[in-house]
Structure 1
């Protein structure tokens, strides 16, 4: 009953967050675009942050910008993106433009001296990522802050999940993000190649990003396989964008990472929309009669006595359901499979006993993750991400961060996947 009440309370507050008084000198944000994602990904989080005010918006269509501003009580409408950047009263910009426009307008914003809060994927390919995140505009003392808003990795549930993961010990990991068919029209800009469209570009920062972070943050050694499907009715030989994919990566520790994503999941093939599961390599926990402390207590509870010439081996599986939208609902499931077996030439690895231990965990706040850090149970992933962006801009310590190396690595993974799939890389901006 308590879990149901908590679910309803959290989800009610997502849509009706409490009003937060603004501080004396808040950061003034301008929004470049009136895209559908703006209210949830930025305006709602901004409304609950005492150091953020949204003062202006610009859109390709000025009439749409005016209507958007009126609806969301944004005081100023700029006639163009550049006019917004030229406003000296704006400190930061949020850029949720189509993927293919991110590079140009992020560079323009940095040149205007604005801090940049950039929607994912940050750029169209690794060339753009290297140029943007290694830009001299970011190197000088007092330079603007640039963050790719990879919001899922800022949420407490992700930290809780990673607390059970040994990156070097992963044998196999799978992640998926499956959007049911009917949510995104075939005419949506997500399928526009010129704007860096495709299912991998849209969902890959989640699925491939989850794998990369689970394995410790590095770029995979190789992309071994990439299968994909075009939009329904589109000739595969002529297709430029993918509507579904499965990509296999090999990581430095020898482990395999599999990313799956689609914007067209058939309702007849329904499965959990987003989830990551990590299976570890077998690990010797106790050898001989050497168990002490917590290990000894666990064995006592399991009714196991380890003798000389025996060992206990553990295979740990950890999963996180709804890692993309954990604020709605999630579960960190930990399953440990233990085997007590004989060792040495005489024993030959003979199994003496097997048992399994399972546990579920949740973390809707940092307190729930065992971390002393600000955060409310109704904060979206986007709100946690914005919190750290503001901390960085203010020169405070950031508890979580998604740095230049992370954004560059994500772009490299996407390029690896497209190359392995036999598809062209997304176009590089001509803006200099």
Structure 2
């Protein structure tokens, strides 16, 4: 109940639609994806420097319906038609994982900046080629790990780095969904399109572990996958990562957690806990903190506190370059602010660097290798 009240109180005073600047960035969407409204369309409404001008889908009827629903002016029946439109400055690519490589390269070739849904590609080598090509062409590509742009994630990292918890010993992160949320025919179960729980929800705890520790896995100690009917696809994966300094990190992801004792429904788990020799801290709902979250800190001297961070807590130190945000801003709105700032030559408050995206995919591939399932199939596309 407290979480619901908190959410409603922030949304009642949400930021109104912004008056658009004359030189606002014109963005097109590749595919009428269900994530697009939350990830881009709604955040763009309050950003004066962004206008969503076009959408493309292979099904023209679907694209028309999507455009009408969201007030988008232009509709294209193919992705390439959208890329060929010289009036579009940037594209959002939320296509299935297995199509990220091809259509991001094509967008870069067309001179478009790209907001690229995670995971960046099916394989690390593909990710490296994408960012190398973007650098060559002078365009911006951002892997959309939206949670990293929200102040709650940075506040937890600040606590971990401060020494308050002592020497860090372990981390445990998860993104699990109860059975029934993801349908059996969902593309996330399609191996040829880069399907798998680790490629979907699992990217978040892996990314967050790396973010909090400023480090990459030394090795994958263990990885166990629960297979889908297509045994090449994981419904769920649990893995333990050996991090530098004898730190152990456990990540869990699942697209269909079965009920306990066959009848008791399972709850969502989107938390991260960091333990040190002097205490521990937990961020509940790090993936969608704008809905509701809290950070609890407990130290071995018996002290405890709870924090909620919807806006930057100060304008000093690591917070000095953060935007003046509203409590209603979503992780995606913070992300969009950084994306636009980068394109316009301004310093973003945070950025996912190319090397970070490559190392993220290397970690994912290492976990898949340890589980025995192996990497997702490489793209056959050649630019």
TM-score (norm 1): 0.82
Counterpart of 1:266 (choices 243, 258, 264) is: 258
Using the alignment, how far apart are the partners of 1:334 and 1:133 within structure 2?
38
Cα distance, 1:162 vs. partner? 0.9
Alignment of structure 1 residues 81-120 onto 2, 5 Å: 81-120=79-118
Following superposition, the deviation at residue 13 of structure 1 comes to 6.1
Computing the radius of gyration from Cα coordinates, the structure with the larger value is 1
The 1-side partners of 2:269 and 2:38 are apart by 19
Question: What's the counterpart of residue 7 of structure 1?
Answer: 7
TM-score calculated relative to the size of structure 2 = 0.92
Between the aligned partners of 1:105 and 1:361, the Cα distance in structure 2 is 41
Name the CA distance, whole Å, in 2 between partners of 1:151 and 1:52: 17
Matches within 5 A, 1:81-230: 81-135=79-133, 137-139=134-136, 143-166=138-161, 169-216=167-214, 218-230=215-227
CA distance in 1, matches of 2:284, 2:314: 17
1:257 matched to which residue of 2?
249
- Distance in 2, matches of 1:133 and 1:409, equals 12
Q: Which residue is 2:380 aligned to?
A: 430
**What stretches of structure 1 move > 4 A for 4+ residues in a row?**
1-5, 11-14
How many residues align? The count is: 371
Secondary structure of the residue aligned to 2:303 is strand
5+ unaligned residues in a row in structure 1: which ranges? 283-314, 338-354
Instruction: Say if 1:99 and 1:122, in contact at 8 Å, map to a contact too.
Output: yes
Work out which of the residue numbers 235, 249, 259 in structure 2 matches 1:243. 235
Mapped partners of 2:253, 2:11: distance in 1: 26
* Superposition deviation, residue 336 in structure 1: 1.1
Counterparts of 2:129 and 2:18 in 1: how far apart (Å)?
38
C-alpha change, 1:77 and 1:276, in structure 2 (3 Å) is same
Q: Structure 1 residues 82, 272: CA separation in 2 closer, same or farther (over 3 Å shift)?
A: closer
- Asked whether the equivalents of residues 10 and 328 of structure 1 are also in contact (C-alpha less than 8 Å), the reply is no
Cα displacement (A) at 1:133: 1.9
Contact 2:3 2:292 in 1 (8 A): no
Q: 1:199 to 1:13 in 2, by over 3 A?
A: farther
Residues 369 and 413 of structure 1: is their aligned pair in 2 closer, same or farther, counting only changes over 3 Å? farther
| Residue equivalent to 1:413 | 363
Q: Distance in 2 between matches of 1:83 and 1:138?
A: 24
Two-structure CA RMSD over aligned residues (Å): 1.9
Measured against aligned partners, the alpha-carbon deviations of 1:8-43 in whole angstroms (never above 9, x if no partner) come to 1224567xx521110121010111000111111110
Change (3 A) 1:195 1:369: farther
Q: Give the deviation of 1:367 after TM superposition.
A: 3.4
In structure 2, what is the Cα distance between the partners aligned to 1:4 and 1:274? 17
Distance 1:256 1:2, change over 3 A: closer
* Segment of structure 1 superposing worse, 363-372 or 399-408: 363-372
Shift of 1:176: 0.4
Aligned CA distance change for structure 1 residues 269 and 278 (closer, same or farther; 3 Å): farther
- In structure 2, stretches of 5+ residues that fail to align are none
